[in-house]
Amino acid sequence: MSLKNTFINFVKHTLKVPLVGIATADDIPQENIESISFVLRTFAQATPLAAGLDNVLHPRDFLPDGRSVIVTGTPGFFGATARFADCRAELVGKAEPSHVNIKYIERGAEISAQIISFFTDRGYQCFSLVGMQFPIKYAAAQSGIGFYGKNSIIQHPDYGSWISLSAYVTDADMEPDKPIRADCGSCELCLKACPTEALFAPYRCDVTRCIDFHLGHNKKAIPVEILDKTGNLLGEGCTVCRDVCPKNKHLTPIPDFEPPQHLLYPPLLDILYMSDEDWENGFAMTLMGFFLMEKRYLQRNAAIALGNFKDVRAVKALEHFVATNDEPIAWYGRWALERISRDK
């Protein structure tokens, strides 16, 4: 059996990862660089996590002798989340399930370690292609994992757009797979449903208008016109474009990975009073916390959510939030209080 077939069997049958594909380690074509670079520049200006780096990295920037890029796709649909009205009744926020599901995150890390070991045990080099600078969606499309949907998210005929992607580069030479020949046809439901018009054209997303970018990553000012569109989200988690997608209608939640409810739907008032210790022992340990970096950005998002709830029960906690935070974070509390005041 060839190395590639042995590896594919290992991933699918031993690791139980249903999607795996191979692409070449060639440089990304220049015609794809411009749109990717725009996203990187936006992130570089918005979050210290990007370290100011906005250049696209090619596979051989990670491994000069790289021959193959591996992409895996793990199903990531955890089921429909609670409705805004139900969350409002309890004054709870909402997180992206995969970002607060520590068991799911740890499972991903285990899979990554075993894939790397598969090659190193056979005398090859293998490195994870992590970080914002490597365009993993491009690699996924090239390796046959899926195809670009009009919402700029990778789609798969069986798993829709709820796929968690990982990528690796190795000096093992394996035959590349062919891209999937599929597309969205004439459907444009996601473009019409996007609450901020971030999906301004098929296959094009203006990240500066994307809710996930602003709540999940942006440490600078969030545009005022975005705030009342964010619902009760506390980080990434806007699923509107995926909720309306016909390719996701047949999906069932993955078993054995139910997200912890206290992290998925945390009480917003508690977040505004959260201590540093509570942050470190809770959300800081999640992927959402990693992206937010600091407690104050979680609290900022909680204040925005309470402003969107327009519920007088939040006034005292919001006043505390304003009094105990410096600008510009405190401004979001005043924005929320004004929204509640206008709705009385």
Classify residue 126: in a domain, yes or no.
yes
Beta-strand (E) ranges in the chain?
A: 19-24, 68-75, 126-128, 147-148, 154-155, 163-170
226 and 296 assigned to the same domain: yes
Picking from 119, 140, 170, the residue at the C-terminal end of a domain is: 170
Average pLDDT rounded to a whole number, residues 118-135: 92
Q: Are residues 130 and 24 in the same domain?
A: yes
Q: Give SS3 for 226.
A: helix
The answer to whether position 179 is within a domain reads: no
Percentage of the chain lying above the pLDDT 70 cut: 99
Is residue 126 domain-shared with residue 272, that is, in the same domain? no
The average confidence (pLDDT) of the chain is 95
Give the number of other CB atoms < 10 A from CB of residue 122: 13
Q: Tell me, yes or no, whether 25 and 144 share the same domain.
A: yes
Percentage with pLDDT > 90 across the chain: 87
Indicate whether 193 belongs to any domain.
yes
| 160 and 27 in a common domain | yes
* Domain presence at residue 235: yes
**Separation CA 27–CA 31 (nearest Å):** 11
Do 290 and 144 reside in the same domain of the chain? no
Cα dihedral across residues 129, 132, 135, 137: positive or negative: positive
**What is the count of structural domains for the chain?**
2
Do 203 and 257 share a domain, yes or no? yes
Task: Tokens for 79, please give them.
Answer: 């089921």
pLDDT tens-digit profile of 92-101? 999 999 999 9
Q: Angle, to 10 degrees, between the axis of helix 315-323 and the axis of helix 329-342? A: 150
Q: Are residues 11 and 107 in the same domain?
A: yes
Per-residue model confidence (pLDDT) at position 39: 83
- Average pLDDT for residues 112-118, to the nearest whole number? 98
Which residue range forms the structural domain that includes residue 58? 3-77+101-170
* pLDDT tens, position by position, 152-173: 999 999 999 999 999 999 999 9
Whether residues 141 and 226 share a domain: the answer is no
Note whether residue 182 is domain-resident: no
The pLDDT of residue 42: 85
pLDDT of residue 97: 96
Residue 35: is its pLDDT beyond 80?
Answer: no
247-282 pLDDT tens trace: 999 999 999 899 999 999 999 999 999 999 999 999
